[in-house]
């Protein structure tokens, strides 16, 4: 049922967003990577089982409902296992390769410890390989975000062009879309002004920002002036460039730490009437008598929510949106027209590109976990230059840089410029070419 699917998706998203950063914060880098790998593996094999079983099989129906029901048990169990197995720092920091070829395996009491122990062969072959995969896939995720964002921008431009030229209320749509475009540009300029106020921007950073904004303004003017673009398309492109710049130079946190206010002196009179103060004191006493398990649960929830970084959540939400939208836009542009916007990608499609999109949709939970973990690693690596990031470097993490984000900005604008150069002024795009107008 659709209610079960929605509930299962909500549980999956909430648990993933909360538990993975909690594993990194409490257990450390190895614990977070191990928990992320266990989650991705669980949903990967679950997707394989769904693909291998017939769609009308009773076993598949039972499997889907059992997994959807037991997520409440499986996810906390994997988290507890990861914290218990990987949160303890080993006494020997050397890996299994160094212990093997240095002739100093005397520290390993048995062969099983050398294979299954901390930093052993099994951990290196699983968690270590997963770490490398996420590190190497960061450029792929970043460039895919730019490409999918460009698809969404062009699709929005085609839809708005059709509304203005083919719908019955052209003037109303034109005025409304112009107001919306102006609002998007004004908001982007505001956030661009905020970027210029950050104290950590150097002369090189200011030069790169100026070059990116100049190119974006030139492309927007070129698209509108040549008739190959429109104000909505240009405003969305400018907003995405500003979003990339804002993500490079900020972590959605205050630039200067907020100093705590000085303690206030005790007031001579209570701030509220005595009856309210008495009720408040009674409530506090009643809460203090609750079982310690409830206090521990409340503290755990507060600690879990405090580990979520707003920048990572915003980046994850935007990246998932453009990736999902591209799976609907690509079939529409290729052959299906607007009907593909309301259809899920299928493996039974005759087109190879649509089959690839169908495979990606089947394994979307594992891909989501990989994208989220990659964003967390990128966030920890970027903030490792500060005082609070020493723990990440001390656990083997790399110091991050924003090279691929700048490459994404340049590549997105280059692709858009190439599209403007090769395309013709066409009122009916790939998405709206199959739409009917009265």
What pLDDT is stored for residue 190 in this prediction?
92
Average pLDDT over residues 177-195: 92
Binning pLDDT at 50, 70 and 90, where does residue 183 land? very high
Question: Minimal CA–CA distance to 419: which of 70, 96, 155?
Answer: 155
Q: Biggest alpha carbon distance in the chain?
A: 83
Token duo for residue 23 = 């594993």
pLDDT at 109 over 80: no
User: Of the given ranges (55-59, 363-367, 368-372), which has the lowest mean pLDDT?
Assistant: 55-59
Q: What is the mean pLDDT of residues 270-282?
A: 61
Which pLDDT does position 294 carry in this prediction? 66
- Note the pLDDT of residue 194: 87
Segment 105-124 mean pLDDT: 60
| CA-based R_g, the chain, Å | 26
pTM score, whole prediction? 0.74
- The confidence score (pLDDT) of residue 328 equals 72
Which SS3 state, helix, strand or coil, does residue 230 take? coil
Q: For residues 255 and 262, what is the distance between their CA atoms, to the nearest angstrom?
A: 21
Pick the more confident residue, 88 or 327.
327
How far is the C-alpha of 130 from the C-alpha of 370, rounded, in Å? 9
For residues 341, 344, 345 and 346, what is the CA-based torsion angle, rounded to 10 degrees? -140
Residue 266: per-residue pLDDT: 46
Q: H helices of 269-426, where?
A: 274-288, 292-306, 310-331, 352-362, 364-382, 390-394, 403-422
pLDDT, tens digit, for every residue of 52-92? 777 777 777 787 778 777 777 888 888 888 888 876 554 44
Average pLDDT over residues 195-210: 84
Alpha helices in 28-57, H assignment, sequence order: 29-52
Greater model confidence, 388 or 187: 187
Cβ atoms 433, 334 nearer than 8 A? no
Which of the four pLDDT bands, split at 50, 70 and 90, describes residue 278?
A: low
> In this predicted structure, which of 29-38, 188-197, 228-237, 343-352 has the lowest mean pLDDT?
343-352
Quick one: CA torsion of 204, 209, 214, 217, rounded to 10 degrees? 170
Give yes or no for residue 379 having a pLDDT over 60: yes
User: How high is the pLDDT of residue 361?
Assistant: 77
Q: What's the pLDDT band for 110 if we cut at 50, 70, 90?
A: low
Q: What's the whole-number average pLDDT of the chain?
A: 75
Report pLDDT for 338. 45
- pLDDT at res. 22: 83
Say what the pLDDT of residue 235 is. 94
Six token digits for residue 96:
């299994």
Which of 163-172, 350-359, 371-380, 402-411 is predicted with the least confidence, judged by mean pLDDT?
350-359
The predicted pLDDT at position 257 comes to: 46
102 pLDDT higher than 50: no
């Amino acid at each position: 049922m659709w209610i079960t699917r929605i509930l299962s998706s909500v549980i999956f998203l909430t648990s993933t967003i909360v538990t993975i950063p909690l594993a990194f914060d409490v257990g450390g880098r190895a614990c977070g990577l191990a928990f992320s790998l266990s989650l991705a593996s669980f949903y990967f094999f679950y997707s394989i089982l769904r693909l291998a079983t017939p769609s009308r099989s009773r076993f598949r129906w039972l499997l889907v409902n059992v997994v959807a029901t037991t997520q409440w048990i499986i996810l906390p169990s994997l988290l507890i296992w990861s914290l218990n197995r990987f949160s303890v720092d080993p006494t020997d920091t050397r890996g299994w390769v160094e212990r093997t070829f240095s002739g100093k395996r005397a520290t390993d009491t048995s062969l099983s410890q050398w294979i299954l122990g901390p930093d052993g062969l099994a951990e290196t072959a699983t968690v270590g390989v997963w770490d490398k995969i996420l590190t190497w896939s960061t450029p792929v995720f970043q460039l895919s975000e730019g490409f999918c964002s460009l698809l969404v921008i062009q699709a929005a431009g085609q839809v708005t062009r059709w509304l203005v030229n083919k719908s019955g209320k052209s003037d109303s749509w034109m005025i409304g879309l112009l107001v919306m475009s102006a609002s998007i540009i004004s908001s982007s300029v505001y956030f661009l002004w905020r970027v210029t106020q950050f104290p950590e921007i150097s002369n090189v950073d200011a030069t790169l920002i100026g070059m990116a904004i100049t190119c974006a303004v030139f492309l927007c003017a070129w698209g509108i002036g040549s008739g190959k673009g429109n104000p909505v398309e240009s405003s969305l492109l400018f907003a995405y460039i500003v979003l990339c710049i804002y993500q490079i130079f900020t972590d959605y946190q205050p630039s200067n730490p907020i100093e705590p206010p000085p303690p206030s002196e005790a007031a001579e009179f209570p701030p509220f009437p005595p009856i309210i103060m008495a009720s408040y004191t009674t409530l506090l006493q009643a809460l203090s008598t609750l079982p310690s398990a409830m206090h521990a649960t409340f503290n755990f929830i507060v600690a879990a929510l405090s580990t979520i970084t707003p920048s990572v959540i915003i980046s994850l939400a935007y990246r998932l949106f453009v990736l999902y939208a591209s799976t609907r836009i690509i079939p529409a542009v290729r052959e299906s027209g607007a009907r593909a916007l309301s259809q899920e990608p299928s493996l039974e499609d005759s087109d190879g590109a649509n089959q690839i999109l169908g495979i990606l949709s089947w394994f979307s939970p594992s891909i989501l976990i990989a994208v989220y973990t990659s964003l967390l690693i990128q966030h920890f690596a970027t903030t490792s230059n500060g005082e609070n990031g020493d723990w990440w470097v001390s656990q083997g993490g790399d110091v991050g840089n924003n090279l691929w984000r700048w490459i994404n900005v340049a590549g997105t604008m280059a692709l858009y410029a190439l599209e403007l150069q090769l395309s013709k002024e066409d009122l009916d795009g790939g998405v709206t070419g199959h739409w009917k107008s009265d």
